[in-house]
Structure 1
Amino acid sequence: MEFTTPVVLVHGFWHGSWCWSLVGEHLASRGVPSVAVDLDGHGLKGRSPRSRWRRPFDAGAYAVEPSPVAGITASSAAESLVEQVRRIGNGRPCLVVAHSMGGAVATAAAEQAPELFAELMYVTAFAPVSGMPAGQYILMPENAGERVASGLSADPASVGALRYDTGDSARWAAIREAFYNDVDEATADAAISLLTPDAPAGVTAEPLTVTAERYGSIPHSYVVCARDYAIRPELQRLFIKEIDSISARPTTVVEFDTSHSPFLSQPAALADVIQVSHTAIHQPGAN
């Protein structure tokens, strides 16, 4: 039986494998095999602070309770992702598609095991290849106007997590604007209800070292989302420049006029882009 490269779909902070379900359907209709995974601290691997569930709800306690996912780092999450990619591809290279802060984890994973990556595609994602922690990019001038940090319910340095209070419906409009500003309201609200409250601050705080010999040896592509208020377009383009400074070949760039979440607002178009890369991998002489 001829081997078909699997697509591994990697979510960003607060999300889970669920956010890729629409894209997965479109990929299946095109005959492209895909598996969405949960990163450490998210989805089925997520853990909530106990104060989230106490009634009556105590916002003060919620703001100071240490996070149960505080020990997770970019490197440790990458080790888990490497094992997932190895299992999904049965040891052969996969096309890995990473969104948002999932890009930081995928970047570390690509350095750890480049032989498992047929390509790394970033979808409006962090790609911290310069040696700076991913969190440092959030404060850069290129990210001016982002609307994520102001919605946090706790000090990340204190609790060890970037914490959201999704139980407060008064906050939903701001979350929709940051992540889902072109997604229909019903779908956006459903997504908000599925968000994991704590995203590990350790992922954003760890400086990553990548090399031209390992990370730079694999093909990269990047989907820029021009209406993104979580990672501003100027910052996305900075990541592309930095990838190109270490990569053996230029990054393939596609631009969408979408929010931070094209997997919900434009799943067919995003599946088209993934399919193009998937097809190219199987062309004679690819990579």
Structure 2
Amino acid sequence: MSLGSTPILFLPGSWHGAWCWNEVIAHLVPDGRPALAVDMAGHGLRARRPECLTMRPFDPAALATEVSPVATVDLDHAADLLGLQMKQLGRGGPVTVVAHSMGGPVLTRVAQQVPELVAHAVYVAAVMPASGNAPGPYFTLPENAEALVLSALRGDPDLIGALRLDLASNDLAYRQQLRDAFYGDVAPIVADAALGLLTPDAPASMMRGTTELTRDGWGSVPRTYVLCARDMAIRPALQRLFIAEADAAFPQNPTSVVTLDSSHAPFLSMPAEVAKIVGKLG
């Protein structure tokens, strides 16, 4: 395939599903660019919901203690699934992979394992850990100060095996916190629709997975980071830290950086701009 015609695979992040990329893909298809959005392991159609959210009468204690049905999903599961999805889309050839948020470590693992299948790795406000580093500790660094996600979690992730959001809550302040965390620049009616499509549990095990990166593996893959300057889920300073660590480890293959004046969800607030960025990549 020639430059510009390589298939593009879109991977959503935690709590999101393939649906979040629909508007971006709509801008690519008229130009004939093959594009597909998929669900990450434990998310979207592959998600399983805890019983406590639909049990009546509602038991607040169960919300914080019920073990998640996706607790066993880890980075290995997610990477195996993404690798299969890439092979199906690319028919064994390379594809450009666009990962959002916690889709980043999954893309990193696959790019390390089979770099020949990744034409370009694109990280959109995504976690891009350094070699041997787990994603979880990054979220408590000073670079992520004032982020709004951790305080929105319900229950102990180590106990329930998930990063759980109370998506059925009628607490107006809590729901506004979720909007601000993910969709600060998205039209309110669209943000509310997106909240309705989120799945409550993101597998906590994925936050603990690590990947050893090598120059001939992930370090050899062309990469672009789309930095979201108004992000309240993964703060811009933390995004810049990911980029700096990658460039320090693999200076022969520096990260191309594009900055959008967007929240954590540019696929909803500025899909045409996201499509323009990824559409130029081979």
Instruction: Tell me, yes or no, whether TM beats 0.5.
Output: yes
Alignment correspondent of 1:7: 8
Task: In structure 1, list runs of 5 or more residues that go unmatched.
Answer: 282-287
The amino acid that maps onto 1:239 is: F
Q: CA deviation at 1:2?
A: 7.4
Partner residue in 2 for 1:266: 270
Per-residue Cα deviation, 1:188-244 (whole angstroms, up to 9, x for no partner): 000000101100001001222111111111100000000000000010011111121
CA 99–2 in structure 1, closer or farther in 2 if over 3 Å, else same: closer
Match of 2:229 in 1: 226
Residues 75, 109 of structure 1: 8 Å contact kept: no
**Partner of 2:219 in structure 1?**
216
Q: 2 CA distance for matches of 1:32 and 1:88?
A: 12
Equivalent residue letter for 1:46? A
Q: 1:210 to 1:2 in 2, by over 3 A?
A: closer
User: Matched residues in 2 for 1:232 and 1:29: separation?
Assistant: 33
Q: Deviations over 1:34-93 (max 9, x none)?
A: 100001100010001111111121111111000111111112211110111011100100
Distance 2:272 2:170 in 1: 30
SS at 1:125 equivalent: coil
> How many residues were matched structurally?
278
SS in structure 2 opposite 1:207? coil
Q: Which residue in 1 is equivalent to 2:23?
A: 22
Give secondary structure in 1 for the equivalent of 2:66.
Answer: coil
- Asked if residue 184 in structure 1 is aligned to residue 187 in structure 2, the reply is yes
Q: Which runs of 5+ in 2 are unaligned?
A: none
Contact preservation (8 Å) 1:78, 1:109: yes
Normalising by structure 1, we get a TM-score of 0.94
- Tell me the equivalent position of 1:244: 247
Q: Does residue 1:114 correspond to 2:115, yes or no? A: yes
Partners of 1:127 and 1:243 lie apart in 2 by 8
Please give the TM-score of this superposition, normalised by the length of structure 2: 0.96
Deviates more, 1:205-214 or 1:40-49: 205-214
Alignment-derived partner of residue 284 in structure 1: none
Counterpart for residue 70 of structure 2: 69
Report the Cα distance in structure 2 between the residues aligned to 1:82 and 1:252, rounded to whole angstroms.
24
- Report the 3-state secondary structure (helix = DSSP H, G, I; strand = E; otherwise coil) of the residue aligned with 1:122: strand
Give the drift of 1:155: 0.8
Contact in 2 for aligned 1:110/1:214 (Cα 8 Å): yes
Alpha carbons 1:130, 1:242 under 8 Å: kept: no
Whether contact under 8 Å (1:122, 1:223) holds in the other structure is yes
**Identical aligned residues as a percent:** 48
Q: State which drifts further: 28-37 or 231-240.
A: 28-37
- State the alpha-carbon separation in 2 of the partners of residues 138 and 120 from structure 1: 22
- Shifted more, 21-30 versus 92-101: the winner is 21-30
Give the corresponding residue for 1:44.
45
Hey, what does 1:285 align to over in structure 2?
Answer: none
Q: How does 1:38-187 map to 2 (within 5 A)?
A: 38-170=39-171, 171-187=174-190
Q: Which runs of 4+ in 1 moved over 2 A?
A: 1-4, 245-248
- Aligned-partner SS, 1:211: coil
Residues 1:205 and 2:208 aligned together: yes
Task: Read off the aligned partner of 2:215 and give its amino acid letter.
Answer: A
Aligned partners of 1:211 and 1:246 also within 8 Å: no
How far apart in 2 are the matches of 1:119 and 1:271?
A: 14
RMSD of aligned residue pairs (Cα, Å): 1.3
- Residue 114 of structure 1: how far off its partner (Å): 1.0
Q: Which amino acid aligns with 2:145?
A: A
In the alignment, the residues of structure 1 paired with residue 206 and residue 248 of structure 2 have an alpha-carbon distance, to the nearest angstrom, of 23
> 1:226-279: CA deviations, max 9, x gaps?
0000000010011111121333411110000100000000000110101121xx
SS in 1 for 2:280: helix
- What is the distance in 2 between the residues matched to 1:270 and 1:187? 18
Read off the aligned partner of 1:224 and give its amino acid letter. Answer: L
Aligned with residue 259 of structure 2, among 224, 237, 255: 255
